[in-house]
Amino acid sequence: MTWTDAGDMLRRAETPLFWVGAFTVASILLWVLYRLLSGFRVWVLGNGQLISPQLGKWAVVTGATDGIGKSYAEELARRGFAMVLISRSQHKLDDVARSLEDRFGVETKTIAADFGKTNIYPTIEAGLSGLEIGVLVNNVGVSYPYPEYYLRIPDLDNFITNMINVNMTSVCQMTRLVLPRMANRSKGVILNISSASGMYPVPLLTIYSSTKAFVDFFSRGLQEEYRRQGIIIQSVLPFFVATKMTRIRKPTLDKPTPERYVAAELNTVGLQGQTNGYFPHAVMGWVTTKMVPIGLVIFLGARMNRLQRTGYLHRRKLREQKNGTGLKTD
């Protein structure tokens, strides 16, 4: 082949290569534009008017006396829902119910239930009987007292049972009780509060991370089953929020108050089936799932939790020494 022949071949290839390149660039630009417009739709315009008593008079919130659950109860009451509050402590339930009645003038109902047990659902079913439920927030959850290796978790057998009952069984059972009446009316919203820890394995919080991954998969699968019947089932995966459970006292941009988080999250309902609920958290979720290799995410999570474990055990050892008792930290 001569240089002339090679030049002729390149010239003949110029036009096809040009159009391949132009198509590729146009595709990328259209994808970027679509993502920008979608982000603007979700995080700027939102869908805040969807969650209203038109879905049904009552809203049900589990784990309603603290943190994110309490904030959901307050925000839903502010929007005019009559509230069913479910949590373990009747005293705390009464306090929250009185507050909602005084501040928002809504009807309330309380059901005291320990979600660590499995014999509670007939009582809850009776308490929900006859109510037109438009929104269910499956929020109740429990985490580790501190990061720990699986075999070193104190009272491991009961720890496993309690975490599965609270984080997983509650979601399935509460959905079983509420979804049929939503399906009969062809409208309703179920918000299942998972966690960013369910987006990938988190060592030293392994059971918690796994239960929250279950909530995410359960929610997305069920949404596909029932979306044609007008039901919205959303998986909510927050990163850190300043609550008693996370032990974060001072809110920051990436660690919002539960009130700020809930207000942002409710704007995503009907727009995202799986959501981090809050724009800075969505950025963090995109980076950790799309930009960073999963192996590195797991490694960094393990490293952070080992440091937290060491610090916790050191502080506990100092406290017990001060009180005159010993502690083996192995």
> What are the residue numbers of the active site?
208
Q: d(Cα 303, Cα 147) in Å, to the nearest integer?
A: 11
Q: d(Cα 48, Cα 273) in Å, to the nearest integer?
A: 15
3-state secondary structure 45-102: HCCCCCCCHHHCCEEEEECCCCHHHHHHHHHHHHCCCEEEEEECCHHHHHHHHHHHHH
Q: d(Cα 8, Cα 24) in Å, to the nearest integer?
A: 25
Sheet holding 133-138, edge to edge: 108-112, 82-87, 58-62, 133-138, 188-193, 231-236, 274-275
DSSP-derived 3-state class of residue 275: strand
Query: Is residue 290 exposed (0-12), middle (13-18) or buried (19+ Cβ within 10 Å)?
Result: exposed
Nearest to 265 by CA among 244, 294, 235: 235
> Which helix (H) or strand (E) is 135 found in, with range?
strand 133-138
